[in-house]
Chain A
Amino acid sequence: DAGITQSPRYKITETGRQVTLMCHQTWSHSYMFWYRQDLGHGLRLIYYSAAADITDKGEVPDGYVVSRSKTENFPLTLESATRSQTSVYFCASSDDRGNTYEQYFGPGTRLTVT
Chain B
Amino acid sequence: AQSVSQHNHHVILSEAASLELGCNYSYGGTVNLFWYVQYPGQHLQLLLKYFSGDPLVKGIKGFEAEFIKSKFSFNLRKPSVQWSDTAEYFCGVCSGNTGKLIFGQGTTLQVKP
Contact = CB atoms under 8 A, between A and B. Distances in A.
A59 interface: yes
B interface, size bucket? 20 to 34
B67 interface: no
Interface in A70-114: 90, 92, 94, 96, 98-103, 105-108
Contact of B106 (A42, A50, A59, A106): A42
A35 B100 contact: no
Contacts, number: 63
Interface residues of A, number: 29
Secondary structure at the B interface, as helix, strand, loop or mixed, is: strand
B97 interface: yes
Contact of A99 (B51, B102, B105, B106): B51
A96 B101 CA distance: 12
Contact of B100 (A42, A58, A106): A58
Interface of A: 30-31, 33, 35, 40-45, 48, 50, 56, 58-59, 90, 92, 94, 96, 98-103, 105-108
